[in-house]
Structure 1
Amino acid sequence: MTHSPATGTGPDPTPGALPDALPDALPDALPDALRDHRDRLDTHLHPAARAWLRQALDEAAAKSGSGWELRVAEAGRRCGSRNADAARILILHAAHADPATLTRLYHQGSAAERRAVLSALPHLVPGPDAVPLVEDALRTNDTRLLAAALGPYAARHLDAHSWRHAVLKCLFTGVPVDAVAGLSARGRGDAELARMLADYAAERTAADRPVPADLYRVLDLAAEDPEADHPHGKEES
């Protein structure tokens, strides 16, 4: 069986309401972030790629065997590299992939497939079961993987020690701290994070090396008085 070499990207010949638009194949309401993914794919995919993705979503929702997992790997070739992350996330969500399935796909997949698994975690895993995948990604120096690992799932479930070191790793690998979900909520008034950042800045300065600009932004946040928003400070008991 031969496959079309088309990547699925390019101008849509019939923009607007399309007969090939992706259906709402999932029984549950899509989160806004996933609906945005699907709407963007409706706009940017060629009809053949949309038809392939529609079939992949149907297969994933039916969960008849493991054939749908192959579609996760195929998404890059079928939908193009710019659209592959969104397509993979939708396929994983359609399948209601559980932590065991996500773990298998993560460890067997390419860097791009791993990135999609990490991005899908907040939509699929309500508890901390997938934290080992985040921790694995944080051990790499792949900046795109690091950014995906520090999404909303890590903000909710990564322990304080690991989260602080992840923020520091962003600084010395060049990952923008804007990629760290929940940075303001978790980092504000974190004295230990402030100490780590100050030490790192001192080491860089002593070695006559530049200090990442983002460091001072996070340091200011971590050094904030957590009671500053309360004009009377802590309530007296």
Structure 2
Amino acid sequence: MSMNGTTSTGVDTRDRRDGTTAALARAGAPAVVVTDELRARYGSGDTEERIAVLGVLDDIAAERPAPDLVRDVGVELVRDALRSNDPRLVAAAMGAFAGRHLGDHDWRHGVVKLVFMGVPLAGVARLDERADDELARMAEDLAEEREAAGRPVPDDLRALLRPSVGVAPGAAAPDRPDPESADATGDAPGSTRPEGR
């Protein structure tokens, strides 16, 4: 096997491990088996491996809520990823699993951190459903900071603003979704705040 994880036959062993974990989940393996593998691979893995683990979590939660144990461990791993300074890892953390299971407080800060890092919000799962007045308020604060510093307000940030907020002349924000349509997941402890590092 080469140093990049590819065997002499050209098989990427990381892809094989990703498939194994997803297969365990699909086959209904005990949640403790799935979570032990996810936690171990995330804890010992490099960025690409951690992104793969987050992708497996997304697969698990894509169509239905994850089992309680998988959910708890998954939220722990997503929160850790959101503390990263690597935009790829932060973006991977805001997929289907986070859209379904991450608490409101952490989820909002994940969205704002992506904007702060210049990562498009197109990959944020359930953004339209979960965007609410508090996220709009946070977006307003960030937009005002950028304007005060003479920096442009990106389109993704402008789209998070409430319709009544005018950040730049002649640029109206789109209609906001009904806040009542957001998931009632509640704030989660150990939340993550965006950092400009």
TM-score w.r.t. length of structure 2: 0.68
Aligned residue in 2 for 1:184: 128
Greater percentage in helix: 1
The 8 Å contact of residues 194 and 223 in structure 1, kept in 2 or not, is answered as no
The alignment yields a C-alpha RMSD, in angstroms, of 3.0
Question: In the TM superposition, what whole-angstrom CA distance separates every residue of 1:78-121 from its partner, at most 9, and x where no partner exists?
Answer: xxxxxx4xx54322112445112211110111110000000101
Aligned residue in 1 for 2:109: 165
Q: Provide the C-alpha distance between the structure 1 equivalents of 2:109 and 2:48, rounded to a whole number of angstroms.
A: 24
1:111 aligns with 2:47: yes
1:195 aligns with 2:137: yes
Aligned residue in 2 for 1:91: 20
Aligned residue in 1 for 2:161: 219
| Structure 1 unmatched ranges of 5 or more | 9-47, 54-73, 76-83, 228-237
Give the drift of 1:140.
0.6
Q: Aligned to 2:67, which of 118, 121, 126?
A: 126
Instruction: Flag the 1:7–1:226 CA change in 2: closer, same or farther, 3 A.
Output: same
The 8 Å contact of residues 128 and 177 in structure 2, kept in 1 or not, is answered as no
**1 or 2 for the larger relative contact order (CA 8 Å, sep ≥6)?**
2
Q: Provide the C-alpha distance between the structure 2 equivalents of 1:5 and 1:196, rounded to a whole number of angstroms.
A: 41
Aligned residue in 1 for 2:146: 204
Aligned length: 155
| Structure 2 unmatched ranges of 5 or more | 26-32, 61-65, 163-172, 180-197
Aligned residue in 1 for 2:183: none
The 8 Å contact of residues 88 and 116 in structure 1, kept in 2 or not, is answered as no
Highest CA radius of gyration, 1 or 2?
1
Letter of the 2:146 partner, please give it.
R
Q: Among the aligned pairs, what percent are the same residue?
A: 43
Q: Provide the C-alpha distance between the structure 2 equivalents of 1:153 and 1:122, rounded to a whole number of angstroms.
A: 5
Question: In the TM superposition, what whole-angstrom CA distance separates every residue of 1:163-205 from its partner, at most 9, and x where no partner exists?
Answer: 1111000001111100101111111xx1111111011100111
Q: Provide the C-alpha distance between the structure 1 equivalents of 2:128 and 2:44, rounded to a whole number of angstroms.
A: 34
